[in-house]
Amino acid sequence: MERYDCKTAQTGFCAGYAFVFKKEKTIRYERGDKEEEENRLNRAVLTLGKRLEERRDSSDNTEAELIDAELMILNDESFTGTVSSLIKNEGADAPGALERAEAILCGRLAAAENDYIKERSEDIKGLISSLAAIITGNETASPEKPCILAGEELSISDLAAFDHGLIKGIITNTGSPTSHLSVLAGNLGVPYLFGLDSITEVIHTGDYLVVDGGKASVLINPEETVKKEAERKQEENEKARAERRKQAETEKTKTGIYANITGTEEAEAAERARCDGIGLVRSEFLFLNRKNPPAEEEQFEAYKHIVEAVKGKEVIIRTMDIGSDKSPEWLTIPDEINPALGQRGIRVSLNNRELFRTQLRAILRAAVYGNLKLMLPMVTALWEVDEAISELKQSAEELKEKGESYCMPETGVMIETPAAVMIAAELASKVRFFSIGTNDLAQYALAIDREAKGLDDYFDPLHEGLFRMIGMTVEAAHAHDIPVAVCGELASRPDAVEKLIRFGVDELSVSVSKLYEVREAVAEIESSFPTDNSLI
């Protein structure tokens, strides 16, 4: 048995078998004879074609259309012909021919005037990387049964294609408690440890692991008695959790306890867990791990589903917070030295107006079906809010002209940059609510990238400076009679909740898995000062 000390991003305890996630490597060059290289290419085209057809047959209309477009390219003579002529005439091996074909074909498309044709180069890139992965055997495997995921520098994009229900715990080499991976682990209600060096050398797929978030340690391949003890502890925790849930069933709190979600299924889970509403829909998750952005119709269906799932309760949809570590492959963002300070959130929306308007139309239409509100991420200036509201109005006009029903949602902003804190009073006069994104506010206030490596001793999410910023924001909001929520990870930290409530925060928005424990904690805190909920 080996024991390693790590750092805790999400608490909890689990035991089970490891699945080590390895990222795709770059293409290997292998020179075979021409005929063999052509055969490798043809076999890969057939395999990919079959997979795409199978996926199309089990997809909804919108996705099926996208897959059909990919199949058309894959079966087009000018696509396969270009690759095989590089093998035949220039002696390239199959992976090398694919790489060069990408440059040739995408170069041709880039010269086209029509945007639609230009955008096809993303389909070509996607097809080429899938073919290369099949040929070189470098396809990324996904776990098929419950497992504890271990990997180097895992990002949420790496996990987007996984069945999240199979993940019992996560361990990585680098990380931080406010990284998006940590947010995901919180959503799943699983422990997440980081800080295990050479992780892919010490943990192998199939190893038995005991992950203890409380002790910040992992045991690898312990003896039978330790395994039995860990499994017993796991069962006990499960029972205790069910009991807490039961208790929290009847608790009522003055502070709203809202849920943070990333997709439609979580909306139902949040409703079952008695959320007071959905305080944050991270809508960008709808845009990740795909070859093209979701069409208006697909977005409309998703937002409508969420709104209906919570039966009239408030739902706050954050417009896509794309960029930094949540960059979809279909969007070209120039290389950035520091992506956290680059094209992110509202900036991406305002720099890609058609994309933004498509989302706004979908939100406006879904608002007809319930109590939907819209929230803008990463705001730093008043003009950004003015511009976004003007886009919202224009999108509403477009729907009106088409005779579509829509409803104008209330608009709020996320307070997650120091600049937004400093102009909170002015922002409060333009919008109807605030939600403080403490994950980002901490990174920008402390000047530490939330995905930074090796700086976790400096990353103090309970820093007094951060709490003062929260206090200033609440004061500005309440002076303008608008409510304030906290939707970052701080909202579910037992060592922060009381302070937030005493500061006068009106709502806490937390991952679905934390709804019960936060509700219970808040009920207890509120019962100690039932009539005075203000800063003391």
Query: Minimum distance from CB of 303 to ligand PEP (Å)?
Result: 17
Query: Quick one: which segment of 356-364, 400-408, 412-420, 460-468 binds Mg ion (CB under 5 A)?
Result: 412-420
By CB under 5 A, is residue 451 in contact with Mg ion? no
H-type helices in 137-223, by residue range? 156-159, 180-188, 199-202
In one-letter notation, the amino acid at residue 214 is G
Q: Which does 38 bind (CB under 5 to 8 A by kind): ligand PEP, Mg ion, none?
A: none
Q: Which residues bind ligand PEP (CB under 6 A)?
A: 183, 280, 282, 321, 416, 437-440, 487-488
Nearer to ligand PEP, 199 or 497 (CB): 497
d(CA 109, CA 343): 25
Residue 480 annotated among the catalytic residues of the structure: no
170 vs 487, beta carbon nearer ligand PEP: 487
204 a catalytic residue: no
Distance, C-alpha 474 to centroid of its chain? 27
* Strands (DSSP E) found in 11-110: 13-21
Please report whether residue 284 would count as binding Mg ion according to CB under 5 A.
Answer: no
323 binding Mg ion? (CB under 5 A): no
Instruction: Please count the other Cβ atoms lying within 10 Å of the Cβ belonging to residue 139.
Output: 12
- Smaller CB separation from ligand PEP, 27 or 485: 485
Selected catalytic residue, list 6, 147, 180, 275:
180
Nearer to ligand PEP, 94 or 346 (CB): 346
User: Is 432:410 a contact under the CB 8 Å cutoff?
Assistant: yes
8 Å CB contact between 421 and 469: yes
**Cβ contact 522:528 at 8 Å:** no
Query: Which one of ligand PEP, Mg ion, none is in contact with 485 (Cβ closer than 5 to 8 A by kind)?
Result: none
The conformation of residue 453, written as its DSSP 8-state character, comes to S
The least CB distance from residue 532 to Mg ion, in Å, is 31
Query: Which does residue 282 bind out of ligand PEP, Mg ion, none, counting CB within 5 to 8 angstroms by kind?
Result: ligand PEP
CB of 25 to ligand PEP, least distance (A): 30
Measured from the CB atom, the residue of 94 and 278 that comes closer to Mg ion is: 278
By C-beta, is 209 or 487 nearer to ligand PEP? 487
Q: Which is nearer to ligand PEP, 107 or 465 (CB)?
A: 465
Smallest distance from the beta carbon of 135 to Mg ion, in angstroms? 39
What's the CA gap between 169 and 163, in Å, rounded?
A: 13
Q: Give the Å distances, CA to CA, from 265 to 272, 388, 515.
A: 11, 28, 16
Residue 437 touches Mg ion, criterion: CB under 5 A:
yes
- Residues in the chain, overall count: 536
Residue 487 binds: one of Mg ion, ligand PEP, none (C-beta under 5 to 8 A by kind)? ligand PEP
* Partner that binds at residue 151, options Mg ion, ligand PEP, none, CB closer than 5 to 8 Å by kind: none
Q: CA-to-CA distance for 359 and 395, rounded, in angstroms?
A: 9
Residue 35, token pair as written in the block: 């005929």
R_g of the chain computed on alpha carbons:
25
3-state DSSP: the chain helix, strand, coil percent, rounded to 5?
50, 15, 35
Residues 214, 13 contacting (CB under 8 angstroms): yes
**Per CB under 5 A, 440 contacts Mg ion:** yes
Minimum CB distance to Mg ion, residue 377 (Å): 6
Give which of Mg ion, ligand PEP, none residue 248 binds (C-beta under 5 to 8 Å, depending on kind).
none
Segment interacting with Mg ion, rule: CB under 5 A, options 219-227, 382-390, 438-446, 448-456: 438-446
Q: How far is the CB of 10 from Mg ion (least distance, A)?
A: 17
State how far the Cα of 96 lies from the Cα of 77, in Å rounded to an integer: 19
Range list of H helices, 322-380: 346-351, 353-366
Taking the alpha carbons of 439, 315, 355, 24 in that order, is the dihedral positive or negative?
positive
Minimum distance from CB of 524 to ligand PEP (Å)? 24
- Min dist. Cβ of residue 439 to ligand PEP (A): 3
d(CA 65, CA 429): 44
Q: Strands 2-5 and 217-220, how do they pair?
A: antiparallel
Pairing assessment for the beta strands 484-486 and 507-511 based on DSSP bridges: parallel
**CA 529 to chain centroid:** 37
198-237: contacts with Mg ion (CB under 5 A) = none
Instruction: Between 268 and 325, name the residue whose CB sits nearer to ligand PEP.
Output: 325
143 binds, among Mg ion, ligand PEP, none (CB under 5 to 8 A by kind): none
Q: Which among ligand PEP, Mg ion, none contacts residue 438 (Cβ within 5 to 8 A by kind)?
A: ligand PEP
- Which residues are known catalytic residues? 180, 487
Report the interface residues with Mg ion, using CB under 5 A.
Answer: 416, 437, 440
